[in-house]
Every structure is written in structure tokens, then in C-alpha cells.
Amino acid sequence: MSILFVLLTFLIVISVNYYIHLPQPATMETKVSVRPRVPIMAKEAGFSIPQDYAFHPGHTWVSREAIDSARIGLDTFAAELAGKIDSIEVADISRWVRQGQRLATIHSEGISFDLLSPVEGVVMTVNQDVVKDPTLAARDPYKDGWIVMLKSPDLATNQKNLLQGPMVAPWMHYNVTRLNTALAQMNPALAQDGGVPAEQVLHSLEPSMRKKLIKEFFLN
């Protein structure tokens, strides 16, 4: 009986020790800093372009933070058109958004337009600095003016549908050309020869013209 007791005690000790030291399963979760890194800017075709950023045709950008995490904001084209931003309405935390779906809404002196998500994923973090001071999104769109961070499982696949690398500068130039052509037709006094669009152009247009530009450039 004593031998059985010793054996039973020995087995219990081994079992308890095994579970205490059981290896923890590897996790796919990657901690990502909420503070953005300083983007490397390059001058191309007259535009300052952040390197390694990818752009959605609706004028939002995405910067890869980890294998499945992405930081998102609006680009300078959107910032200049909007001018002073009064508030930014952002999708709720933990909400799943699809690529091309509304991620946020910009409100500027009675004018509103949606920003479309460049990739799909779950909203992890909202930039509270931008919520408190929406003008930051226009003043520093590629760094401190970021809007949200997404957990994006298919980030690499989604990015293939975006403009990046050598495609960005020609695309930006094309958009400015399109805008200037549209403005010349709507109001010749607003036409420009190039560069970034004039600040608050949307506020200088009649509602019907404004609606047309928002639809054309922000895909609303």
C-alpha cells in the first residue's frame, strides 16, 4: 500500500509540474506603437510623397505597421480641398470595415464627405489627438494627423489594389490636372496651373458643383 501511495504521489507531482511549465501557444498578436514613426518624404513631380505608403483612389493612405496592422489617414489632396476641418467622425472601435467602405467622415464648415478605408480590417485604435483637434489631420496628414489603426489580416493582398511606389506621383499629378480642368469648367477664376489644389476649394463652389467634385475625387 505504501508503494502505491508513493507512486501515486509521484505521478501527481509530475502532472502538476507538467501543467505549470506547459509551453504557451505562440500568438499572432503583435504590439504596435500608437505613436507614428517619422515618414521618409521624397520630392517627386512637385509633390512631397511619403515613402512606403500606399494610396486609395479616394485619397486615403495606409502605412504598414506590422504584418497585419496598418495606420490610416487622409492625403494632402484631401486636406487641401477640405481646408479647415471642424470634426472627424470615425468608425467605432472593434468595427470591421471593408476595403473601400466608409471609415470616417470629415466635417468642414457645413460640408461633409466620407473617407474610404484603403484596406479591410478591424478598427483597433482611433487617434484621440485628431478627435480633439481635427485640424491636425490637415496640418500633418502623414504623421501625427493619422486617423485610425486597423488590424488587417489580408493587408498584403489589399495593398496590391492600391497606388504605391512609382505610381503615386503620376497619380497625384493626374488628380490635380483633373481638378483644374473641372474648376476651369465650373468657375474659371478658380483654375490653377499645377501643384496641390488651392485650400478650401470646396467652399468656393456652389452646392451642385461641390457635390460633383466630392463624388469624383472622394468616391462618395
Per-residue pLDDT tens over the stretch 99-118 = 999 999 999 989 999 999 99
- Predicted TM-score (pTM) of the model is 0.81
Please give the helix or strand (H or E) that residue 13 lies within, else none: helix 2-20
pLDDT digits (tens, 9 = 90+) for 145-199: 999 999 999 999 999 999 999 999 999 999 999 998 888 887 766 655 555 555 6
Domain 52-220 annotated CATH 3.40.50.300: no
Which set of grid coordinates corresponds to residue 218? 472622394
What is the per-residue pLDDT for 65?
93
Beta-strand pair 148-151/69-74: antiparallel
Amino acid type, 3: I
For the chain, the 3-state helix, strand and coil shares in percent, each to the nearest 5, are: 35, 25, 40
